[in-house]
Amino acid sequence: MNKKESLISRAEKVLSPVLAHYSNLEVAKGKGAYLISVEGRKYLDFACGISVTNIGHCHPKVVSAAMKQAESLIHACAGVAYYEANIALAEKLKEICPGNLNMSFFCQSGTEAVEAAIKLAKFVSKKQGILAFKGGFHGRTLGSLSLTTSKEKYRKPYEPLLPNIYFASYPYCYRCEEKRDSCNIKCLKTAEAEIEKAGKDRIAAAIIEPVLGEGGYVDAPKEFMQGLRSICDKNDILLIVDEVQSGLGRTGKLFAFEYSEILPDIITIAKSLASGFPLGAVIGRNDLMKAWAPGAHGGTLSGNPVSCAAALATWDVIEKENLIPAAEKEGRYIKEKLIKLMEKYDVIGDVRGMGLMIGVEFVKNKRSKEPNPDIVKEIMENCLKNGLVLISCGLFDQVIRFIPPLIIKKEQIDTALNIFEEALRASV
3-state secondary structure of 50: helix
Per-residue pLDDT reduced to its tens digit, 221-274:
999 999 999 999 999 999 999 999 999 999 999 999 999 999 999 999 999 999
d(CA 105, CA 284) in angstroms, rounded, equals 9
Distance CA 137, CA 141 (A): 11
CB 356 within 8 A of CB 325: no
First-to-final CA distance of the chain: 43
- Summarised one tens digit per residue, pLDDT across range 68-106 is 999 999 999 999 999 999 999 999 999 999 999 999 999
- Rounded to 5°, angle at Cα 257 from 138 and 139: 5
Average pLDDT for residues 137-162, to the nearest whole number? 97
Answer whether residue 182 shows pLDDT above 70: no
Phi, psi of 66 (to 5 degrees): -65, -40
Phi-psi category of 265—alpha, beta or left, where left has phi over 0 and alpha has psi -120 to 50?
A: alpha
Per-residue pLDDT of 290-337, as tens digits, reads: 999 999 999 999 999 999 999 999 999 999 999 999 999 999 999 999
Domain boundaries, the chain: 7-55+322-427, 61-320
Please report, rounded to a whole number, the percentage of residues in the chain having pLDDT higher than 70. Answer: 98
Q: How far apart are CA 206 and CA 68, in angstroms?
A: 41
pTM: 0.97
60/75 Cα distance (integer angstroms)? 22
**Model confidence at 286: pLDDT above 70:** yes
Cis peptide before 160 (omega within 30 of 0): yes
CB atoms within 10 A of CB 346: 13
Q: Which amino acid is at 201?
A: D
Whether pLDDT at 2 is above 60: no
d(CA 28, CA 219): 35
pLDDT per residue as tens digits for the range 402-427: 999 999 999 999 999 999 999 999 99
Burial of 55 (0-12, 13-18, 19+ CB in 10 A): buried
Q: Does the structure show a pLDDT above 80 at 183?
A: no
Query: What pLDDT is recorded for position 1?
Result: 43
12-29 pLDDT, tens digit per residue, is: 999 999 999 999 999 999
- Report which DSSP code applies to 59: -
Residue 323 dihedral angles phi and psi, to the nearest 5°: -80, -20
Is domain 7-55+322-427 in CATH 3.30.70.1450, yes or no?
no
Q: What's the CA gap between 397 and 379, in Å, rounded?
A: 12
Q: Check whether 218 has a pLDDT greater than 80.
A: yes
Q: How far apart are the C-alpha atoms of 24 and 26, rounded to whole Å?
A: 6
What is the rounded distance in angstroms from the CA atom of residue 107 to the CA atom of residue 86? 11
Q: What is the dihedral sign for C-alpha 298, 90, 262, 223?
A: negative
Please say whether the beta carbons of 412 and 404 come within 8 A.
yes
With 90 as the cut, is the pLDDT of residue 200 above it?
A: no
Q: pLDDT grade, residue 56 (50/70/90)?
A: very high
- H-helix or E-strand spanning residue 68: helix 60-72
Per-residue confidence band for 180, with pLDDT thresholds at 50, 70 and 90: low
Average per-residue pLDDT in the chain? 97
Element (H, E) at 154: helix 152-155
pLDDT band, very low/low/confident/very high, at 181 (cuts 50, 70, 90): low
Per the CB < 8 A criterion, the answer to whether 108 and 331 are in contact is no
Q: In the CATH hierarchy, which fold is given to the domain comprising 61-320?
A: Aspartate Aminotransferase; domain 2 (3.40.640)
